[in-house]
Chains A and B, each alone.
Chain A
Amino acid sequence: MSGYDYDDLVRAARAQITEIGVPDLAARLDAPPLLVDVREPHEMATGVLPGAALVPRGALEKGIDHVAPDRDAEVVLYCTVGNRSALATLVLEQMGYTSVSSLAGGIAEWRASGLPVEMPLPGDDTARYARHLVLDEIGPEGQERLGGASVLVVGAGGLGSPAALYLAAAGVGTLTIADPDVVDVSNLQRQILHATSGIGTHKTDSAAAALARLNPGVVVRTRTVRLDASNAEEIAAGHDVVVDGTDSFPARYLLNDTALRLRIPLVHGSVLRFEGQVTVIDPYAGPCYRCVFPEPPPPGVSPSCAEAGVLGAVAGVVGSLQAVEAVKLILGAGEPLAGRLAVYDGLAGDLRVFTTARDPACPACGDPSAPPPLVDYDETCRPVRP
Chain B
Amino acid sequence: MTATVRIPTILRPAVGGDAEVEAAGSTVGEALRAVGDAHPPFASLVFERDGSLKRYLAVFVDGRDARHLRGLDTPVGPGAEILVLPAASGGAG
Contact = CB atoms under 8 A, between A and B. Distances in A.
B92 A302 contact: no
Interface string B61-93: 001110110000000000000010111111111
A190 B93 CA distance: 9
B15 to A, nearest CB: 14
A275 B63 contact: no
Given A293-B56, A295-B56, A356-B58, A302 B89 contact: yes
A359 B68 contact: yes
A294 interface: yes
B92 A293 contact: no
A23 B65 CA distance: 70
B68 A269 contact: no
Interface string B42-67: 00010000000011111010011101
A294 B55 contact: yes
Interface residues of B, number: 27
Contacts of B65: 292, 354-357
Nearest to B19: A348
A305 interface: yes
Contacts, number: 134
A160 interface: yes
A310 interface: yes
Contacts of A245: 91, 93
A270 B93 contact: no
Contacts of A270: 87-91
Nearest to A360: B68
Contact of B9 (A252, A274, A294, A354): A274
A315 interface: yes
A301 interface: yes
Contacts of B56: 293-298, 301-302
A191 B92 contact: yes
A59 B45 CA distance: 54
Contact of B87 (A158, A246, A297, A352): A297
B64 A354 contact: yes
B56 to A, nearest CB: 4
A249 interface: yes
Given A247-B90, A272-B10, A292-B87, 20 more contacts: A157-B91, A159-B92, A246-B93, A248-B93, A252-B89, A270-B91, A272-B88, A295-B54, A295-B56, A296-B87, A301-B11, A302-B88, A302-B89, A305-B92, A310-B90, A341-B85, A343-B83, A343-B85, A353-B63, A355-B60
Interface of B: 8-11, 19, 45, 54-58, 60, 63-65, 67-68, 83, 85-93
30 contacts: A158-B92, A190-B92, A247-B90, A248-B89, A248-B93, A270-B88, A273-B10, A274-B9, A275-B9, A277-B88, A292-B58, A293-B56, A294-B55, A295-B54, A296-B56, A301-B11, A302-B88, A302-B89, A303-B10, A312-B92, A341-B85, A343-B83, A347-B9, A352-B83, A354-B63, A354-B64, A355-B65, A356-B58, A357-B67, A359-B68
